[in-house]
Structure formats: C-alpha cells, structure tokens
Amino acid sequence: AQSVAQPEDQVNVAEGNPLTVKCTYSVSGNPYLFWYVQYPNRGLQFLLKYITGDNLVKGSYGFEAEFNKSQTSFHLKKPSALVSDSALYFCAVRDTRSGGYQKVTFGIGTKLQVIP
C-alpha cells in the first residue's frame, strides 16, 4: 500500500527566510509526487508535480521540490518566504505500477505560518 508522511503539523518561518516543508512517501513501484496548497476556506491548488527526469521540480509561486529516491522524500522548498505563503500544504503520491488506475494518497497536511 502507498502512503505519505508529513512529519510536521506546523512550520513557522520568518518572512524572507527560506522554508522547507517535509514529505516522505512509500510506494511499491515508482512514484508520481504532488504538492498542493490550501488557503483558508478554499479548495486545494496544484503547486507542482514530479513524474520523471530532473529531480528538482519547479512550480507555482516560486516553490520547488526535490525528489530524493534513496531517502524517499519530496520536500517542498522556497528560497524566501512571503506572509502570503501562509497556508496548509499537502503532499501526495501515486504509484505508477501498471495495472490500471492507481489512487492518489494525500498526506494530512502541514500548516505553514510565515511571520512578518
């Protein structure tokens, strides 16, 4: 079975500082990995996705994530945090093994608080 772990319930970072939101995963085959952001009272918005190729994936709003196969991680990063980045961030994984549709499994989310 596939799973996603977001070990931090909340991450606090000062505005202008770099931020990291951690994610580790477990799948039987190779993974597709996603990051989504959820602002208050809104649905989830897609940030970025890893399929294959370059391990560093760049996404919306200046975010990027690095796929690390040996550590089974896909941490979300941004060089300089903005107050407007404060939101709930979800990591998700899908197994790419053959055999039809594979569900996407979401983590429980990490609340990012950027302090002015």
Partner 1 sequence: GAGVSQSPSNKVTEKGKDVELRCDPISGHTALYWYRQSLGQGLEFLIYFQGNSAPDKSGLPSDRFSAERTGGSVSTLTIQRTQQEDSAVYLCASSLGTGGRTDTQYFGPGTRLTVL
Residues forming contacts to partner 1 in the complex (CB under 8 A) are 32, 34, 36, 41-46, 49, 51-52, 90, 94, 96, 101, 103-109
The residue with tokens 């319930």 is 9
Shortest Cβ 85–partner 1 spacing (Å): 19
Closest CA to 96 of 63, 69, 57: 69
Q: How far is the CB of 50 from partner 1 (least distance, A)?
A: 10
Looking only at the bridges linking them, the beta strands covering 110-115 and 10-14 are parallel
Q: Which is nearer to partner 1, 56 or 108 (by Cβ)?
A: 108
Q: How far is the CB of 14 from partner 1 (least distance, A)?
A: 26
| Euclidean distance between CA atoms 66 and 75, whole angstroms | 6
